[in-house]
Amino acid sequence: MRQPDVIRNNYLSPYANNWSFIVLTVSLSRSLIATFVLALASGLSMVVGAQTTPAGKWTAERTETGMRSLSYDATVPLLGKPTRITVSFYCDTFTSKMVHGALGFDLFVDKVAALKPFRFDDFEGPDALSNGKKLMRVSIIRPGKPTYTVNVNPSGSTPAEGNFVFGVMEVSKLAKSTPRTMLQMLADGAERFEITITDTKNPKLKLEIVVPVAGKEADFKTLMTGLK
């Protein structure tokens, strides 16, 4: 996980040798002392700014067949390591005798080899060891309203070498389903979408992701356009 003590030491070390100078300034005028303090504060703020994690990026798309998606891409700490993830919400309302549209979300995790000992392989395929265990917990936080929390059994696959995707999906024609409820909650002024996935053998080993969704209410409503 994060190492605040190490960061704090690195944060102060550039100024560790300046204490003798600070002592000398005591005998100088107040204006010179004020100038030094201002410069020191400016330097500290630059260090803090350099350590700020970049904000995630939202992208909305629509395919030629009418399927809509809303994706959040960011680099987040997983098991103490910076990891690129994408959470892609989608809704396809097209339905025919042969084809049924779907809705839900996918969680893409990049370079999973760096996240060992988490057992991604145990979630992969129709015969996955995780089947029936509901090791993914989803929580949707809405200000002034009860938190929506549900445990689900995600599907798992490897779309590209080194990556992994967890999926939660249901056909869109169903009037009630867990993925449909999630999208409806997100379109109702939600603030955060939280995902926690527990390892199949070590309950203390978890992937924890928080997606900030405040202000995306209209985008989620658009995502569900045509949903009956």
Cα radius of gyration rounded to whole Å, the chain: 24
Reported confidence tier of residue 27, pLDDT bands at 50, 70, 90:
very low
Mean pLDDT of 17-44: 39
pLDDT of residue 54: 52
Domains of the chain from N-terminus onward: 4-50 (no CATH), 57-223 (2.60.40)
The secondary element (H helix, E strand) that includes residue 45 is helix 30-50
Average pLDDT over the chain, rounded to whole?
Answer: 82
Buried b (16+ CB within 10 A) or exposed e, 83-105: bebbbbbbbbbeeeeeeebbbbb
pLDDT digit string (tens) for 73-92?
999 999 999 999 999 999 99
pLDDT digit string (tens) for 130-178?
998 999 999 999 999 999 999 999 999 999 889 999 999 999 999 999 9
Six token digits for residue 152: 């689900």
pLDDT of residue 40: 38
**What percent of the chain has pLDDT above 90?**
68
pLDDT of residue 163: 97
pLDDT of residue 98: 83
Q: CA-CA distance, 158 to 160, in Å (whole number)?
A: 6
